[in-house]
A and B are shown apart, each in its own frame.
Chain A
């Protein structure tokens, strides 16, 4: 197990890591999910030894890494800029780390050819990286990282520069490759919630240098512990509706009183925030809203709307076209909403209140 304990790193007064603890098991993919600047890259670089945290501890299978220089750490890293050696053939690009650590040239090339076969580049071994497409170049970089069979694999948004069709295929390939290297600890940083949930055996939510929540993807997605966690784990963004429970019922800011029992739960009077996912808003209801933008991605349509002064995001599982500026009637399925208290903490379903 790779254990990161209480890592802190401040540079020029800016805290990049503020007491981060993560445990990552071998043979499983741990995804780090957070926005740009949340601290994911710094965390991976700390594991690789490229930056030195001011406090905290890193250990693998009980062995302390804190004093280990980067070149002694058994890690392989893939970053979003596919870095390949332009003067070497694809085969030699992948064989390079093995040759450098002293393996016989022939054996290194054989291992490289086998790995290139696994990433679907068997026909490309003789080419230069520049002659390959972006997706192929990234596969070369992945093959070079995997061929080392390093105990720790660090992946920093490896597919972010690629088209969604390529990403779709490479994610699956990567998952299959990792299954064949069962002892590897894999950390995968991404800004894309879907990618994090889909690829992770365990998902760690990170914001402002802190871990917000960690656990199996379905638990993290189904019950984000705080408003901040709900923001990080939802894409399209979750609709956050400020609300008040009064003696007479639920009142949403901007939208007014709602039918009694709209949330399907009994809550004591006070201020709350309802987290309503984009899929829990549908067209064909009474709430008038104007279309601000429709975006089609993959098989889905995400529509940004404004109801009065309140911005809302709706997701439909089909390709539809809503005209910019047109009016739609919306239905908010408040029974599906996550409820957060005034302190921002999730109030789990079934929690009882005085």
Chain B
């Protein structure tokens, strides 16, 4: 188990080529859970491969517990990996698969057996130890892959590369639960790479949102939701996306003209490129009078909630409200918003 430090790390696939991973500094605490989240081509796989040792960065260093491992290969880093497609030794039993990393290191057989039994018990694989591994279901195979990582007591980190992609939805839930429990119990550093927000937000204590080769925001799921660092994160996290309306600087405040929405401007902030943002969940319908009035353009019934699109000369906003507001397209509706729910952005970046 280790703290992982990425120091002035950057990568270009060829000398002089643009950075696939732009310079960054980051520390992953020992025993923490992290998710690298972003669309394909965002740089998350590059970063992941650098940590696992499959790729040597063109700049910067990778430290495991302070020790420089930048030039070491995967085998010398004491990490375990679980991939999208389960990697198992098909000719071996489940027990032999789990014990394989220890057998390779010449650990005495009785010790291997004890350790394998303990891990199998924990992962619910105990009844399957004598079974041939290729007879398992996809989710059981992923558990075996995970178990092979946990069986070594010196493992520095477990790296998970979209491990739930091939799993049926019903089993995904169970695997997510096991992953969380394992982390709580073994306190092993875990890093997940995924394009799926739900997976990232559910798994990780800290989500690292990436786009165009750069870390856009790193924070707790709640921070990403409450205080997205950029308008991109505001769109990407949350459903429907965060609302953003262009604002003007008027007497020391950022004001969305024609609405009651405004926020005081920090001193010295240039007055151009301003936007106010708020989450659809934070608005409350308020009858005829409120901070902002608009015409109901569309409604989506979702069961518990309805989503209401309001059009206004300043732009269209979407609000989420408990179903049964009695609104119809064409109606005029107003809503209120607490000041604390408003965020100020300038040129796409969070200011206040």
> Chain A: residues with CB nearer than 8 A to chain B?
133, 163-165, 168, 191, 193-194, 197-198, 217-218, 221, 233-234, 277, 279, 292-299, 304, 315, 317-321, 324-325
Contacts and interface: CB of A to CB of B under 8 A. Distances in A.
Given A165-B236, A292-B177, A315 B304 contact: yes
Interface string B234-257: 011011110000000000000000
Contacts of A324: 180-181, 184
B301 interface: yes
Interface string B316-333: 000010010000000000
Contact of B198 (A164, A194, A321, A325): A164
Contacts of A277: 304
Given A165-B197, A293-B176, A218 B323 contact: yes
B77 interface: no
B238 A298 contact: yes
B43 interface: no
Closest 3 CB pairs of A and B: A298-B239, A296-B201, A319-B225
Contacts of B39: 133
A247 to B, nearest CB: 35
Contact of A198 (B176, B197, B226, B300): B300
Contact of A294 (B181, B202, B220, B301): B202
Interface residues of B, number: 39
Given A293-B176, A297-B198, A299-B279, A198 B302 contact: yes
A165 B239 contact: yes
A293 B303 contact: no
Contacts of A317: 281, 305, 320
Query: Of A193, A304, A319, which is in contact with the most chain B CB atoms at under 10 Å from its CB?
Result: A319
B222 interface: yes
B222 A164 contact: no
A157 to B, nearest CB: 11
A321 B196 contact: no
Given A296-B198, A298-B238, A299-B281, 15 more contacts: A165-B236, A165-B239, A198-B302, A198-B307, A218-B301, A234-B303, A293-B176, A295-B176, A296-B221, A297-B201, A297-B202, A298-B239, A319-B222, A319-B224, A324-B184
Nearest to B41: A133
A318 to B, nearest CB: 6
Contacts of B238: 298-299
Contacts of A191: 169
A320 B279 contact: no
26 contacts: A133-B40, A163-B196, A163-B197, A165-B197, A168-B240, A191-B169, A194-B302, A194-B303, A217-B301, A221-B303, A233-B303, A234-B303, A293-B177, A296-B201, A296-B221, A297-B197, A297-B198, A299-B239, A299-B281, A299-B320, A304-B177, A318-B281, A319-B201, A319-B224, A324-B180, A324-B184
A132 to B, nearest CB: 11
B225 A299 contact: yes
A320 B202 CA distance: 10
Contacts of A298: 197-198, 238-239
Contact of A197 (B202, B220, B302): B302
Contacts of B240: 168
Contacts of B300: 198
A334 to B, nearest CB: 17
A315 to B, nearest CB: 7
